[in-house]
């Protein structure tokens, strides 16, 4: 009896799997279509926009940190390959230094290689709780070695070892990764610092365009876009949502 039931279950699952899947996808599509937010938490007017976009960026970032706290500094970084095909991933903004935005990564990773071949980059912040988005376009250059070393050594030793153990973006087995970590842990685990790997460090982004987006009711969102000219002067304009 039990065996028959199991077999019946098996046939049932086999024959109904596709219908079940179709049902799940139909349901998802309906859910996606029905997802709709009427943004109304704030507004952005010209009078709120200083001449220097970094001032407004700093204000929005501080408000995001206050409201969201963890991962308020997460941003999506887009790079392109030699044929212009884009690729995106999230990283953490770690500093704003002399009007440059800094994040840290492996220079031999997919993004690291792409940025060294083509420094054009786009950064995107989405602060849902504030209904705000910021887009930053610009050029990325390697940060100074001193800056990268100082940040690398400010991290807990486990994170330093983790970074050194990972050949980021390359094929690896889990076993190899754990072994790499263990080897380095045996060597440096009792210390507070280990040497920074040569191919790990910061990228410093110099923006040429910064767009501030504030969600508004009925899709009439506020968008203020800043662009810098060849003399280093920022101008701003409102663009349609
Ligand atoms: C919230 C979040 C923050 C992350 N921060 C970083 C970071 O600061 N640096 C980094 O190299 N990877 C970070 N990652 C991992 C990247 O998204 C990505 O997987 C990794 O950098 C490899 O990307 P690539 O193969 O495109 O170069 C983060 C991932 C998430 C989800």
- CATH label of the domain that carries residue 195: 2.30.110.10
What does the pLDDT profile of the chain (241 residues) look like in tens digits?
A: 455 555 545 554 555 566 666 766 677 777 888 888 888 889 999 999 999 999 999 999 999 999 998 899 999 999 999 999 999 999 999 999 999 999 999 999 999 999 999 999 999 999 999 999 999 999 999 999 999 999 999 999 999 999 999 999 999 999 999 999 999 999 999 999 999 999 999 999 999 999 999 999 999 999 999 999 999 999 999 999 9
Residues 98 and 217 in one domain: yes
Tokens of 122: 């786009």
Q: Is 237 a catalytic residue?
A: no
d(CA 233, CA 21): 55
41 occurs within a structural domain = no
7, 41, 89, 219: the active-site residue: 219
Residues 21 and 53 in one domain: no
Instruction: Give the pLDDT of residue 32.
Output: 81
Helices then strands (H, E): number in the chain? Answer: 6, 9
Residue 87 · residue 81 · CB < 8 Å: yes
Residues 96 and 195 in one domain: yes
Among protein residues, the one with the nearest Cα to ligand 1's atom 30 is: 90
d(CA 126, CA 206): 20
Nearest CA-CA partner of 207 in 223, 227, 224: 227
5 occurs within a structural domain = yes
Ligand 1 centroid distance, CA of 88 (Å): 10
The boundaries of the domain holding residue 4 are 1-36
Among protein residues, the one with the nearest Cα to ligand 1's atom 4 is: 91
The count of residues in the chain is 241
Residues 15 and 84 in one domain: no
Residues 152 and 230 in one domain: yes
95 occurs within a structural domain = yes
φ, ψ of residue 81 in degrees (nearest 5)? -90, -175
Residues 201 and 98 in one domain: yes
Ligand 1 centroid distance, CA of 210 (Å): 22
Cβ neighbour number for residue 61 with a 10 Å cutoff:
18
């Amino acid at each position: 009896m039990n065996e028959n039931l199991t077999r019946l279950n098996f046939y049932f699952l086999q024959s109904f799997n596709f219908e079940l899947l179709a049902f799940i996808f139909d349901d998802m599509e309906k859910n996606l279509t029905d997802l709709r937010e009427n943004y109304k938490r704030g507004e952005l007017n010209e009078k709120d926009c200083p001449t220097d976009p970094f001032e407004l960026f700093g204000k929005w970032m501080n408000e995001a940190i206050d409201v969201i706290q963890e991962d308020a500094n997460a941003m999506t970084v887009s790079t392109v390959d030699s044929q212009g095909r884009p690729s995106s991933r999230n990283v953490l903004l770690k500093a704003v230094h002399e009007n440059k935005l800094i994040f840290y990564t492996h220079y031999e990773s997919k993004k690291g290689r792409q940025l060294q071949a083509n420094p054009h980059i786009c950064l995107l912040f989405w602060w849902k709780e504030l209904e705000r988005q910021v887009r930053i376009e610009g050029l990325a250059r390697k940060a100074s070695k001193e800056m990268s070393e100082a940040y690398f050594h400010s991290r807990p030793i486990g994170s330093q070892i983790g970074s050194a153990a990972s050949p980021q973006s390359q094929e690896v087995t889990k076993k190899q990764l754990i072994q790499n970590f263990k080897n380095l842990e045996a060597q440096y685990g009792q210390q507070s610092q280990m040497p920074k790997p040569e191919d790990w460090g910061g990228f410093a982004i110099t923006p040429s365009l910064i767009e501030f987006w504030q969600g508004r009711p009925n899709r009439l969102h506020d968008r203020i876009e800043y662009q810098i000219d060849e003399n280093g002067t920022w101008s701003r304009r409102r663009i349609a949502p």
